[in-house]
């Protein structure tokens, strides 16, 4: 069922439609939260809070935009709040991925750590746009709506973010 | 949340139904015990705001409930002792009607009505007219309507009247489950309705609160006044006529009597642990019908 | 940028996400459903939505009875009335139109629902107010249809017709409201029907005396109209105020338990 129909069903009291909506977007929201929080338990908690917030404030969701974008807005705000409450960790103590035995996987884990560290070095707005563009596969138009900025500003942030990431990860041709 | 009854009084021309009753109720289940005419229904009506007290008031967290008006009634669920229904209504119509009065939206009303019909096991007769229901079914429907708005203060006046033992057990479990964060006031003659689930018992006599406390606390107040003795049939007659007998069991040639009395009723009597039913009889034995309690095979 | 998108994705790819726990997702669904239910149940409707919902609960017999009253009027529309038949019809129909709504208003007391209704959010006053508003408007529509259907061929001035129709209507309402103010039980319905019958008999008898419907008597009818209207308004306010909890009904027993 498409999102508009799902929302209509939920509005009429059908909680099975709510179930379907959550199942549809849970993984995406969780992935976004994980990349923001860098901690699985925190990501799961925030993801849960996103959907609870959505349900409790369902009346104020007037379907001006896509349901998916609205969920990302909630996720973004809740991640910001959660990160503000957490004591800031030094970059080196970001939750490491489980290191594997063979070199290939160790190299990959190192690379993942580098990417994570590099992303954390970006200014908030640029990191946001990069995450939503390359990990959540959202269009720039949707990202602009989620971050409540203009399309050209969003493009600029993406450009600047990739340039900075490229330097940090020593990739010359990212422009 | 605290519901305070401040010196509540209701006086009629020829009688005082409730006499300067004060109590402070916090979330939990309160069993209101009293004989007919003790003032329980009058008290409950004043708590619900449908009867104005002669003096005193009811306050919720310090705010007068009359002044609160709609916002207080929004927190209430009430099941009166005698209630009717509109003959053309089905069970679903009835719940939707009361849901509208309680201010629920159409969607919420349908959802709650379906949930509650299932809770009280009336979902199979949802579309049947209430006039076809048995007394027990009507009572269950009454309980369902009281719960529609998920009330924080639930007032139930003799809710188990007309229910068979199995239904009473189910009702007890239902109420016990929901009383965690609510103030539930349950008036009853049937002591077993509240004995095991009430957090506190309020004993009312002649419009006054004569006892208030946890069941074990108030039964302790009549410690040493409940006796058991095994006697012959001729002695049984004498003791039954003279004392309040809460249980009589025929055991072959002799009878086992459970007697509520200030003093030792007979030589062979031994004091036993009092129960809530003994307490009820202690206070209300002169007000009960002759023959209640009668002989019982088991308790 | 588009050219390098593949390379960017490849570089960023290693930052993967551990698989989500299905149990956590199921828990989220459960909690979300509960939160949604809670929200749903906590939303409250306003008075106007309540009013429109009450329309559904007005007994169908009221609408059928009104339709039954209107049918002969509509059937006879377009034909000149014979003799005093129009005045007789006004004299008997107007009290009936007035009376039809009162058992419906009283039903809370006559069916033992008052106690439950009195301690709901909308309470007795708003419930009675809603019923009176709906039934009052329905009565007005009914009377308007009767007037409109009778106007063309009655031969009477329109203002006089209004007086001949509304004076019996007002008088019946005044009587029934007085009953409602003082008797809030099943007996109230019986008293209202007595009031209705008395009004029908009185005004029907009156309608047979032509002199009372001459132009010269219009002044008297006008005075009766305004007096009955004033009493109607005052009694309406008084009755409305009397729907205050159960003070009146509680003195005796409430109505019939099943």
Is the per-residue pLDDT at B157 higher than 60? Answer: yes
pLDDT at A41 over 70: yes
Where in the sequence is the domain holding A59, given as residue range(s)?
1-88
Which pLDDT value is given to residue B184? Answer: 95
Is the confidence at residue A95, as pLDDT, over 80?
A: no
d(CA B71, CA B49): 12
Residue C257's pLDDT band, with cuts at 50, 70 and 90, is very low
How many H-runs (helices) and E-runs (strands) does chain A carry? 8, 0
Residue of chain A whose Cα is closest to the Cα of C24? A44
In A, which residues are within 8 Å of C41 by CB distance? none
Q: Do B103 and C120 touch (CB under 8 A)?
A: yes
Better-predicted residue by pLDDT, B239 or A59: B239
Residue to test with chain B: of C55, C115, C185, most B Cβ within 10 A: C115
Residue of C nearest to B138 (CA): C258
Cα separation, A154 vs A148, whole angstroms? 9
Which chain C residue is nearest to residue B111, measuring alpha carbons? C37
Q: Higher-confidence residue: C187 or C136?
A: C136
> Which pLDDT belongs to residue B145?
96
Instruction: Count other Cβ atoms within 10 Å, centred on residue C107.
Output: 22
**CB < 8 Å to B108, chain A:** 13
User: Does B108 contact A at CB distance below 8 Å?
Assistant: yes
The rounded distance, in Å, linking the Cα atoms of A29 and A53 is 13
pLDDT at position C127 is 93
Per-residue pLDDT for C236 more than 80?
yes
Strand order in the sheet with B226-231: B244-251, B254-260, B226-231, B270-271
Q: For chain A, list residues whose CB is within 8 angstroms of any CB belonging to chain C.
A: 10, 13, 15, 18-19, 22-23, 26-27, 30-31, 34-35, 40, 44, 47-48, 51-52, 54-56, 58-59, 108-109, 111-112, 115-116, 119, 130, 134-135, 158-159, 162, 165, 169, 171, 173-175
Q: In chain A, what is the greatest distance between 2 CA atoms, to the nearest angstrom?
A: 55
What is the model's pLDDT at position B76?
95
Residues of chain C with pLDDT > 70: what percent?
Answer: 89
**Element spanning A140, H or E:** helix A140-146
Range name among A108-117, C151-160, C198-207 with the lowest pLDDT average:
A108-117
* Chain C residues touching B138 at Cβ < 8 A: 258
pLDDT of residue B285: 75
Q: How far apart are CA C197 and CA C185, in angstroms?
A: 20
Which chain A residues contact residue C28 at CB under 8 A?
22, 26, 47-48, 51-52
Report how far residue A151's alpha carbon sits from residue A144's, in angstroms, rounded to the nearest whole number. Answer: 5
- Residue A1 in any domain: the answer is yes
B261's tokens: 């009395």
CA distance B89 to B100: 14
ipTM: 0.84
Considering Cα of C1, then C7, then C12, then C18, what sign does the dihedral take?
A: positive
Q: Is residue A101 part of a domain?
A: no
Average pLDDT over residues C180-203: 90
- Per the structure, how many domains does chain A have? 1
Nearest to B70, CA basis, from C44, C115, C242: C44
Tokens of A51: 């959907």
Average pLDDT over residues A69-82: 93
B208-266: pLDDT as tens digits: 998 899 988 888 888 899 999 998 888 888 888 888 888 888 888 888 999 988 888 88
Q: What value does the mean pLDDT take over residues B116-144?
A: 92
How far apart are the CA of A35 and the nearest CA of chain B, in angstroms? 38
Q: Is residue A51 part of a domain?
A: yes
Fold adopted by B3-214: Rossmann fold (3.40.50)
d(CA B290, CA C45): 52
Per-residue confidence (pLDDT) for residue A63, from 0 to 100: 64
Per the model's pLDDT, the better-predicted residue between B211 and B294 turns out to be B211
**CB atoms near residue C152 (< 10 Å):** 11
pLDDT over threshold 60, residue A89? no
Check CB contact under 8 Å for A19 and C24.
no
Q: Which residue of C has its CA nearest to A18?
A: C33
- pLDDT the model gives residue C258: 23
B114 Cβ contact partners less than 8 Å away, ≥ 6 residues apart = B123, B126
What pLDDT, on the 0 to 100 scale, is given for residue B245?
87
Question: Given a cut of 50, is residue C252 above it in pLDDT?
Answer: no
- Kindly report, residue by residue over C80-119, the tens digit of the pLDDT: 666 667 888 888 889 999 999 999 998 998 898 999 999 9
Report the distance separating Cα B67 and Cα B59, nearest Å.
9
Q: Mean pLDDT for chain C? A: 85
pLDDT band of A98, cuts 50, 70, 90: very low
Residue B288 has a pLDDT of 45
CATH of the domain at A64: 1.10.1740.10
Of the candidates A171, A78, A80, the one whose C-alpha atom is nearest the C-alpha of residue A124 is: A80
CA distance B41 to B82: 10
Q: What is the mean pLDDT of chain A?
A: 83
Rounded to whole angstroms, the Cα distance separating C50 from B101 reads 8
Q: What local confidence, expressed as pLDDT, does residue A76 receive?
A: 94
List, in sequence order, every residue forming a beta bridge with B257; answer none if it has no partner.
B229, B248
Contact of B139 with B162, CB cutoff 8 Å: yes
A8 domain residue, yes or no: yes
List the domain boundaries for chain B.
3-214, 222-287
Distance from CA of A17 to the nearest CA of B (A): 14
């Amino acid at each position: 069922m498409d999102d508009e129909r799902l929302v209509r069903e939920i509005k009429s009291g059908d909680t099975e439609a709510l179930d379907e909506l959550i199942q549809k977007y849970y993984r995406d929201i969780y992935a976004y939260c994980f990349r923001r929080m860098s901690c699985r338990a925190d990501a799961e908690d925030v993801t849960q809070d996103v959907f609870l917030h959505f349900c409790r404030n369902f009346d104020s969701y007037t379907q001006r935009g896509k349901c998916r974008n609205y969920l990302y807005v909630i996720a973004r705000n809740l991640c910001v709040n959660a990160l503000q409450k957490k004591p800031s960790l030094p970059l080196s103590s970001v939750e490491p991925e489980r290191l594997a035995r063979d070199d290939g996987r160790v190299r990959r884990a190192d690379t993942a750590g580098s990417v994570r560290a590099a992303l954390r070095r970006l200014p908030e707005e640029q990191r946001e746009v990069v995450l939503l563009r390359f990990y959540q596969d959202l269009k720039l138009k949707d990202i602009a709506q989620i971050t409540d900025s203009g399309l050209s500003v969003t493009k600029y942030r993406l450009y600047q973010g990739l340039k900075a990431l490229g330097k940090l990860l020593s990739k010359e041709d990212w422009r | 949340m605290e519901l305070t009854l401040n010196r509540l009084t209701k006086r009629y021309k020829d009688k005082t139904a409730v006499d300067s009753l004060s109590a402070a109720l916090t979330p939990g289940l309160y069993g209101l015990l009293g004989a007919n005419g003790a003032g329980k229904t009058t008290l409950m009506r004043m708590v619900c705001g449908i009867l104005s007290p002669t003096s005193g008031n009811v306050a919720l967290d310090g705010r007068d409930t009359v002044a609160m008006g709609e916002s207080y009634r929004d927190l209430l669920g009430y099941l009166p002792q005698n209630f009717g229904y509109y003959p053309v209504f089905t069970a679903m119509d009835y719940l939707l009607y009361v849901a509208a009065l309680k201010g629920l939206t159409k969607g919420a009303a349908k959802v709650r009505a379906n949930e509650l019909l299932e809770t009280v096991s009336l979902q199979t007769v949802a579309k049947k007219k209430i006039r076809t229901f048995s007394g027990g079914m009507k009572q269950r429907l009454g309980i369902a309507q009281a719960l529609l708005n998920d009330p924080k203060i639930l007032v139930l006046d003799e809710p188990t009247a007309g229910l068979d033992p199995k239904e009473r057990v189910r009702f007890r479990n239902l109420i016990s489950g929901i009383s965690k964060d609510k103030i539930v006031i349950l008036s009853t003659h049937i002591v077993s309705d509240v004995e095991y689930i009430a957090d506190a018992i309020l004993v009312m006599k002649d419009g006054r609160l004569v006892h208030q406390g946890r069941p074990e606390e108030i039964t302790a107040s009549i410690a040493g006044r409940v006796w058991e003795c095994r006697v012959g049939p001729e002695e049984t007659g004498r003791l039954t006529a003279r004392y309040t007998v809460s249980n009589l069991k025929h055991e072959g040639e002799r009878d086992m009597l459970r007697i509520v009395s200030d003093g030792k009723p007979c030589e062979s009597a031994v004091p036993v642990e009092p129960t809530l039913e003994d307490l009820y009889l202690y206070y209300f034995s002169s007000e009960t019908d002759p023959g209640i309690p009668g002989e019982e095979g088991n308790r | 940028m588009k050219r390098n998108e593949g390379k960017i994705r490849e570089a960023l790819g290693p930052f993967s996400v551990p698989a989500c726990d299905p149990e956590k997702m199921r828990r989220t669904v459960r909690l979300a459903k509960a939160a949604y239910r809670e929200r749903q149940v906590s939303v409250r409707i306003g008075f106007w939505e309540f009013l429109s919902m009450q329309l559904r609960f007005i007994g169908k017999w009221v609408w059928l009875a009104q339709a039954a009253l209107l049918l002969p009027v509509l059937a006879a529309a377009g034909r000149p009335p014979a003799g005093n038949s129009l005045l007789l019809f006004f004299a008997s129909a107007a009290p009936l139109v007035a009376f039809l709504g009162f058992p419906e208003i009283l039903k809370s007391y006559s069916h033992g629902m008052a106690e439950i209704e009195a301690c709901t959010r909308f309470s007795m006053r708003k419930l009675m107010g809603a019923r009176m508003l709906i039934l009052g408007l329905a009565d007005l529509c009914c009377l308007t249809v009767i007037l409109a259907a009778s106007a063309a061929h009655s031969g009477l001035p329109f203002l006089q017709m209004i007086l001949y129709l509304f004076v019996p209507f007002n008088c019946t309402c005044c009587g029934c409201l007085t009953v409602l103010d003082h008797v809030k039980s099943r007996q109230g319905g019986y008293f209202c029907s007595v009031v209705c019958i008395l009004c029908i008999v009185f005004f029907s008898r009156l309608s047979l005396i032509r002199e009372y419907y001459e132009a010269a008597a219009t002044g008297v009818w006008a005075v009766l109209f305004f007096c009955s209207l004033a009493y109607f308004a005052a009694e309406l306010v008084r009755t409305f105020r009397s729907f205050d909890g159960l003070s009146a009904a509680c003195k005796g027993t409430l109505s019939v338990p099943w």
